[in-house]
A and B are shown apart, each in its own frame.
Chain A
């Protein structure tokens, strides 16, 4: 009886850990999906400074996503800029330049202040 209880407890703990891992993984992928979905839906667009923004006439649905992604991108740009002794701005611009060819057609982009769809 006692051994059975211990076994159940261990199994329960294992299941709990498994669920936690699955939850974390799904949360991460859901976040990735969000950015991609938002981009595909036209809720966000890529700006030539290396950040994202909401295209004109689109709702503020993706506002939270914009803030989160831009904050994390900025951290990445700061790292690269520091490492190479260049400005954070140039790093962001170069990242946009490099990524532009990979944007799917229809992606909203803001270049030199003007919004358009690739």
Chain B
């Protein structure tokens, strides 16, 4: 009886672990991240262009005080 339970315990634990993992895996869904990533990149690029344009405009304003 004692020997049997000593063998049975790891087996039960393994089975339980298998159940837990098995039970979890279907709920772990990988959402398609295309959309948010694309938006973030656009915002980043947009921001970089804005910063560059603003800097260029400032330079032009300082240089061309005759027409601004």
List A residues at the B interface (Cβ < 8 Å): 28, 31-32, 35, 69, 72-73, 76, 79-80, 83-86, 91, 94-95, 98-99
Contact = CB atoms under 8 A, between A and B. Distances in A.
Contact of A72 (B53, B57, B67): B67
Contacts of A76: 60, 64, 67
Contact of B53 (A35, A73, A84): A84
Main secondary structure of the interface of B (DSSP, over half): helix
Interface of B: 49, 52-54, 56-58, 60-61, 64-68
Contacts of A31: 66
Contact of B54 (A32, A69, A94): A94
A86 B46 CA distance: 10
Nearest to B50: A94
B67 A98 contact: no
Contact of B57 (A32, A69, A85, A94): A94
Contact of B56 (A35, A72, A80, A85): A80
Contacts of B49: 84-86
A98 B61 contact: yes
B67 A69 contact: yes
Contacts of A84: 49, 52-53, 56
A33 to B, nearest CB: 10
B67 A73 contact: yes
